[in-house]
Chain A
Amino acid sequence: MRFRSHLFFLTGLWAGFTFIKLCVYYVPERGHLPTIHSSNGVAGNSHREKRLHLHPEEDGGGAAKLARKVRVLCWVMTVPKNLKTRTQHVRATWTQHCDKVLFMSSVNETSFPTVGLNVKEGRDQLYWKTIRAFQYIHQNHFEDADWFLKADDDTYVVLENLRYLLSKHDTEEPVYFGRRFHPFVRQGYMSGGAGYVLSREALRRFISGFATGKCTHTSPIEDLALGRCMEIMKVKAGDSRDASKRETFHAFPPEKHVVRKIPSKRSWYLSYDYYPTLEGPGCCSDLSVSFHYVPPKLMYELEYYTYHLRPYGYRYRFDPELAKRKLNHTSP
């Protein structure tokens, strides 16, 4: 009888041991927390999150506040033959961060969608396209935004940095910003390829200029001609440089600006700059707004560099608010 009870005891011992062992080793690992990846347009995500392109662990609080205050309408100058090769990549990347985006072409393409302006295609038509585009926007979308950005289909723009720049200015003032060039226009003009942005008052005056005949189609060189009209209509050419006096709009891709070169004869593209040109790290603000001559592949690279790739825990050298406070302290 004692033998039997020992047997039961041992069986129980083995059973208990095995049961716990099974539980400990086969309970599934604590699963990964569900990632709220907001940038993929999953149903139910707020439009704001999608526009801000946030990561689950990221705090976009500052950017969100700015977005509500500074609404930007982006219009992209494009042509029918570029839609598949270039414009679709513009649509997939930076324009997602605009409050509103319009793709301006000579043909109405509802599937893309593009707006068909009453123009022909060609380099000599660029200023006509610009005039018609701004007229279309003024007529149909003037209340949709605080600022109006023009870009090419090979321009890459960082909207958050544009909003930050614009937040320090009043859109009811006649002013426009971009990569400031000279000569040809006394107060300077903005490079077309680097993108430029008009305040509400600036847009009103541009439209009124053409309505009254004060501005006319003086030249097919879009940026120059627009710059002349701006000067005529007393719209100020603004200074878009950051608190450390570094440029934010760029007429070339990052490689052309950032790479340190042996000082050589000033190339043609350097001589257009209104402000002294800086090469190497001083060329470009940390909070750069735009780059030009950006092919589609580079757009995705820049998107990755701007919004994704980062050094964990890194304390950035440039603190725009700190630089501004220092500036305010030293000025009389």
Chain B
Amino acid sequence: MKMLSEGSSFLKGLLLGALFCLLLSLLGSLSSEPQPNTEHGDDHGDDHHHHHIKAPSKEELQRMPEDLRMQLSQNVRVYCAIMVQPKILNFWATAKDTWSKHCDKAVFYTSESAKALEAVDLQEKDEWPKIRKALKHAFENAGDLRWFFLARATTFAIIENLKHLLLIKDSSQAFYMGNVVKAGELEYVEYDSGIVFSYETLRQLVRIFNDEERCPERGRALWKLSEEKELALCLKYTGVYAENGEDSRGKGLFNKKSVSALISEGLAKSPSNVVENCCPDLAVTFGGMSPNQMQVMMFGVYRLRPYGHIYHDSLIFMPPEGSDND
């Protein structure tokens, strides 16, 4: 008799405990995306919890009602900030004539002015102060654009694929994205493969630009760091971490090398399945491209295709007005 009452107490407790826990975890999963600011403290030093942003899968997109999908694809709009110089006028002209036409707004930033070069003159030769000024200018001139893409003149970006990647992301969250590299304890986004900022990140970045101690204007004097590391350190002080941009299978979408270079490497390593092993279908960036290579890529991306191969994509992006090479 005694054991039965004890057993039933135990069972009552078991059931109650289980229900309570289920309720808690249900509530926990309802408060949507991971907050980069708070989560990262726990993951410090733990390599296994790689910070990544994955493109939405086909299933995820199909689950969404169509008008929501339409709305999202119209709302994700990108401000492209492209860094040029007079001595590489050809790169400016090519970027202007090719991929940047697919940005909602494309602004070129130059170190000094030059005839024929249509760009914002930052009057700054050093790269890190130049980037700071460009980002500040971009933030101040964003209008209603909420995503920012910073690139060198030698980078080619496929903006539609960037938009696909950002589709269900929230620009009021602070994170920056691209190809993440680790140097010691510091994880940073590579400059050569292009850097994506949410509006909130830029807002915090512009604010910390005023902190000469944490984020010195001309970079750290004691040891010279690359711009990408300066950026990572400044952002780290605001609690913003680098996120690796990947497709739904986990393959990196941001490349600092050109297709040509990646194919060469692939051929040398393993002559079979060269194309499959090279690069993802929905790649966002390729770096180290010459102007001619960019023109060929423009044709290869936006035009050349095999008749009869149809993809039933869940979004629609229209070609830009007044352009003839796409």
Contacts and interface: CB of A to CB of B under 8 A. Distances in A.
Contacts of B75: none
B44 interface: no
A17 interface: yes
B307 A66 contact: yes
A320 to B, nearest CB: 7
Interface stretch (B144-152, B228-236, B309-317): B309-317
Given A1-B2, A308-B281, A313 B164 contact: yes
Contacts of B38: none
Given A4-B6, A59-B312, A66-B307, A12 B13 contact: yes
Contacts of B114: none
B161 A312 contact: yes
B97 interface: yes
Interface in A11-50: 11-21, 24, 32, 35, 37, 39-40
Interface residues of B, number: 77
Nearest to A65: B308
Contacts of A93: 275
B325 A297 contact: no
Nearest to A298: B260
Interface secondary structure of B, over-half rule? helix
B64 interface: no
Nearest to B286: A309
Contacts of A281: 299, 303, 324-325
A288 interface: yes
A288 B73 contact: no
Interface in A303-318: 303-318
A308 B315 contact: no
A313 B312 contact: no
B26 to A, nearest CB: 9
Contacts of A311: 102, 158-161, 301-302, 317
Contact of B11 (A12, A66, A317): A12
Contacts of B278: 300, 304
A97 B249 CA distance: 27
A291 B306 CA distance: 14
Contacts of A187: none
B88 interface: no
B17 A15 contact: yes
Contact of A13 (B17, B263, B282): B17
Interface of A: 1, 4-6, 8-21, 24, 32, 35, 37, 39-40, 52, 54-55, 57-66, 88, 92-93, 158-161, 163-164, 254-255, 258-260, 280-282, 284, 286-288, 296-298, 300-318, 320
The 9 closest A-B pairs by CB, nearest first: A12-B13, A16-B17, A63-B308, A305-B300, A62-B308, A16-B18, A160-B306, A17-B17, A13-B13
